[in-house]
């Protein structure tokens, strides 16, 4: 996968450069309740990571969703590497990883958001 140069964001974690992407508009799959995945890839084009952050965009049209910040992406990358993601090894099959749990444990805004979601 190649990230569009205009939309991609760069992050450096442990002296390794990664690109990640947040699309402004939901895709058709997201509108039909597929989970939102943040794509992350090493700058040299290693195996693509698809980080599931635990929500579908279509469910939250009227609610403010906490912003996915570079610090959240850094935590996702560290978690993925600890979970066995070989970020620099080329592989045609992306790795999909459930990252919702690490976000809720480590970010009070996400935790508060999750509690509002479950009481609605």
pLDDT in tens, the chain (120 residues): 567 777 789 999 999 999 998 877 666 666 666 677 889 999 988 899 999 887 766 655 454 456 778 888 999 999 999 999 999 998 889 999 998 887 766 555 555 555 545 554
C-alpha separations of 87 from 49, 65, 68, 91, 97 in Å: 8, 28, 21, 9, 13
CA atoms within 13 A on the CB side of 7: 11
- pLDDT at 2 (0 to 100): 66
Structure confidence at residue 22 (pLDDT): 81
pLDDT for position 60: 52
Entry pTM: 0.76
- pLDDT, residue 59, reads 54
Phi and psi for 98 in degrees, rounded to 5? -80, 110
* Beta-sheet strands, E only, within 2-109: 9-13, 16-20, 37-42, 49-52, 95-98
**DSSP label of 16:** E
Q: What's the distance, Cα to Cα, between the start and end of the chain in Å?
A: 37
């Amino acid at each position: 996968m190649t990230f569009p140069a205009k939309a991609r964001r760069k992050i450096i974690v442990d002296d390794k450069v990664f690109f990640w992407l947040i699309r402004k508009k939901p895709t058709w799959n997201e509108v039909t309740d597929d989970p939102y995945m943040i794509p992350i890839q090493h700058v040299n084009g290693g195996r693509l990571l698809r980080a599931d952050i635990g929500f579908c965009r279509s469910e939250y049209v009227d609610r403010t969703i906490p912003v996915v910040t570079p610090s959240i992406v850094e935590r996702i990358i560290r978690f993925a590497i600890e979970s066995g993601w070989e970020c620099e090894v080329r592989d045609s099959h992306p790795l999909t990883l459930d990252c919702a749990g690490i976000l809720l444990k480590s970010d009070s805004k996400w935790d508060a958001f999750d509690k509002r979601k479950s009481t609605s």
